[in-house]
Amino acid sequence: MKIEHIAFNVADPVAMAEWYCRHCGFRIVRHLPQPAQTHFLADADATVLEIYCNPPEQVPAYREMNPLLFHLALASENPAEDAQRLIRAGATLVEEARLPDGSQLIMLRDPWGVALQLCRRASPLLRRP
């Protein structure tokens, strides 16, 4: 088996989908407008995120969660540059870390409070064919 998608219940899936497409390089591969404004977003490697609002009264309080409890991690060739670009687009900085192996991690929050980590690993987690 392999992951088909990872889902997030969010308050404003329309705006969030647009932000992730515009600023993080995702593309919408499917949109189901009713009843939950479901958007399936894919990155360049076809990893898919589903964002929707259902049920609206149970959207997690992402902004109040410790980022280590839940975060979306994106590989970045230049985390510092990407972080500054995302901050200009409405993200907020949480913290930066350099690991002993030389990896660089920058934790942000997107405009809806979801923790977003930018990662440049000294040794990639997976080797792509």
Residue 128 and residue 103 share a domain: yes
Helix (H, G, I), strand (E, B) or coil at 17: helix
CATH number at residue 16: 3.30.720.120
Residue 87 and residue 55 share a domain: no
Residue 35 and residue 2 share a domain: yes
Beta bridge partner(s), residue 74? 118
Please give the chain's pLDDT, 129 residues, in tens: 989 999 999 999 999 999 999 999 999 999 999 999 999 999 998 999 999 999 999 999 999 999 999 999 999 999 999 999 999 999 999 999 999 999 999 999 999 999 999 999 999 888 766
How far, in whole angstroms, is CA 118 from its chain's centroid?
9
Q: What is the pTM of this model?
A: 0.93
Instruction: Please give the residue range of the domain that contains residue 27.
Output: 1-59
Preceding peptide of 13 cis, ω within 30°: no
